[in-house]
Amino acid sequence: MNKTLFLMSVFVVGIATAEAQNVNYLSGGIGDNSVERMAAVGKEFTLKLLFAARDGHYLSDVAVSISDANNRKLLDTVSDGPFLFAQLPPGKYAITATYAGSAQTRSTVIAATGRRELVFRWEEQAESPPAAADVKPR
């Protein structure tokens, strides 16, 4: 089985496209131009994933794994932005999204027509205040 992965990143607009084991996908959505482009081209995909913190902030660098009903891994990647679109044939899938070590798994069905949309939300880790040793007196 050929496991070649072709990855093309467009850094100007923050979009990455790729094919993994015959699954075309698109990831990105950082910056105004990228969000607009993702919305325009994302309509062609059967699955849309959105990654966000509970407070509404978008997240990137989310590890995503998609497996089919036979537990065969079809996609294993890291998102380049808060959106990931994938072109999957009709069927049942398990999607695992991991952010900051916290994994969420969802089962979903892709129908013969239309698009399935899933939102994954995490409690974003608040930055801790500086340690006392890091604070310099004035």
pLDDT tens column, 74-102: 999 999 999 999 999 999 999 999 999 99
Nearest residue to 121 (alpha-carbon basis) of 96, 104, 137: 104
Residue 116, token pair as written in the block: 């399935």
Give the pLDDT confidence score for residue 100 in this predicted structure.
95
Give the pLDDT confidence score for residue 4 in this predicted structure.
32
Question: What are the helix and strand counts (H, E) for the chain?
Answer: 1, 10
Phi then psi dihedrals of residue 54, to 5 deg: -60, -25
Kindly give the parts of the chain with pLDDT less than 50: 1-19, 126-138
For residues 5 and 18, the answer to whether their CB atoms sit within 8 Å is: yes
Alpha helices in the chain (DSSP H): 32-41
Give the pLDDT confidence score for residue 21 in this predicted structure.
63
Residue 85, token pair as written in the block: 């679109």
Domains in the chain, CATH or no CATH each: 6-123 (2.60.40.10)
Nearest residue to 20 (alpha-carbon basis) of 65, 70, 75: 75
